[in-house]
């Protein structure tokens, strides 16, 4: 299960890639 922190990190990576 993904933790809220993990979700934030993933979202940050996606924004950085974009």
Give the three-class secondary structure for 3: coil
User: pLDDT value at position 10?
Assistant: 96
Neighbours of 17 (CB within 10 A): 6
Would you call 1 exposed, middle or buried from its count of C-beta atoms within 10 A (0-12, 13-18, 19+)? exposed
Q: At 16, list the tokens.
A: 């950085």
User: pLDDT value at position 5?
Assistant: 96
Query: 0.85 exceeded by the pTM?
Result: no
User: pLDDT value at position 18?
Assistant: 74
Distance separating alpha carbons of residues 3 and 17, to the nearest angstrom: 21
User: pLDDT value at position 2?
Assistant: 82
User: pLDDT value at position 14?
Assistant: 94
Q: Which residues of the chain have pLDDT under 70?
A: none
């Amino acid at each position: 299960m993904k933790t809220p922190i993990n979700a934030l990190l993933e979202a940050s990576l996606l924004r950085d890639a974009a």
